[in-house]
Amino acid sequence: MATIPAPVAELLERALVAELTVVDAAGRPVTYPLIPLYDGEHVYMTSSTLFSRKLEHIDANPRVSVSITDPVAVDGRLDRATIQGDARVIAEDPHGGWERLLPIWEAKEPSIVLFLKARVALPLFFERALIEITPRRVLYWADGQAQTAPAVTVIGEEAA
């Protein structure tokens, strides 16, 4: 059974930022740059309640994509990927439920723990929901160029 290809997993682990695209009520793609947090199975992102419009879109339509395109955000790597998947909003505990991902987050943004200690300064920023994305299909451009057809991997099936 195919899983996320190794180079794409490496991109996810390394990327400081990725682009989450959700679909709004009009069927239009809406893209948000967010930090991708990968635990080897799911891609996670977190959203402050301040910027929770994306969560409304996901609740209405769970089909999303996560793209990694910026070489600057992946230490200069030129390969690129887009992961299509199904998203689920986890909002049981906006105050602290998301903190289970803090170790992965801290690895990418060390200062986040300092900000969290001073959450009194911006309390609503740390009221957050988790977005859990189950990958379904991966498009991978080894050279990062749109003039090359992407390698397509359907998760749960043999690689195409």
Partner 1 sequence: MRSTPELDARAGLTKLAGYPYQIATWVDDTGYPVSVAVEAVVDPTTGTATFAAPVGLVVPDDRDVSLTGTHIRPQPGYGYDERRHVTVWGRAAVGEHAVTLTGRSAWGWDEAEVPFFEYSERSLPQSRKYFDALSAERGTPVKPRLSFGFLTLRTTRLPFLTATIVPVVLGILIAASHGSFDLVAAALTIIGASFVQLGLNVANDVFDTVQGADDANVTPTQFSGGSRVIQYGLVTLRQMATLATVFYVLAGVIGLVLLATHGSPALLVIGVVGFIVSLGYTAPPLKFVYRGLGEIAVALGFGPLMLLGAYVVQTGGALAWEPFVASIPVALLVALILYVNEIPDRRGDARVGKRTLPVRFSQTAVITGYRVVAAAAFVAVVVGVVAGILPVPTLLMLLTIPLALQVSRGLEPNYDNPYGLMAVMGTNVQLHLRAGLLLLAGYVVVLILGAVAPGLDLFVG
| Binding piece for partner 1, criterion CB under 8 A, among 1-9, 37-45, 146-154 | 146-154
Q: Closest CB to partner 1 among 41 and 78? A: 78
Residue 1 Cβ vs partner 1, minimum distance, rounded to whole Å: 20
Query: Alpha helices, DSSP H only, in the chain?
Result: 6-14, 53-60, 102-108, 112-117
Query: Are 135 and 4 in contact, with CB atoms under 8 Å apart?
Result: yes
Query: Are 104 and 12 in contact, with CB atoms under 8 Å apart?
Result: no
Contact string 93-112 vs partner 1 (x = CB under 8 A):
-xx-------------xxxx
**By CB under 8 A, is residue 156 in contact with partner 1?**
no
**By CB under 8 A, is residue 27 in contact with partner 1?**
yes
The helix or strand, by DSSP H or E, that contains position 153, with its residue range, turns out to be strand 151-154
Are β-strands 37-38 and 43-48 bridged in parallel, bridged antiparallel, or unpaired? Answer: antiparallel
**By CB under 8 A, is residue 60 in contact with partner 1?**
no
Residues between 70 and 89 with contacts to partner 1, criterion CB under 8 A: 70, 72-73, 80, 82, 84-85
Q: Which amino acid is at 29?
A: P
Distances 30 to 20, 22, 65, 69 between C-alpha atoms, Å: 8, 5, 10, 16
Binding site for partner 1 (CB under 8 A): 16-17, 19, 21-23, 26-33, 48-53, 55-56, 61, 63-65, 67, 69-70, 72-73, 80, 82, 84-85, 91, 94-95, 109-112, 119-125, 127, 136-137, 139, 141, 144, 146-150
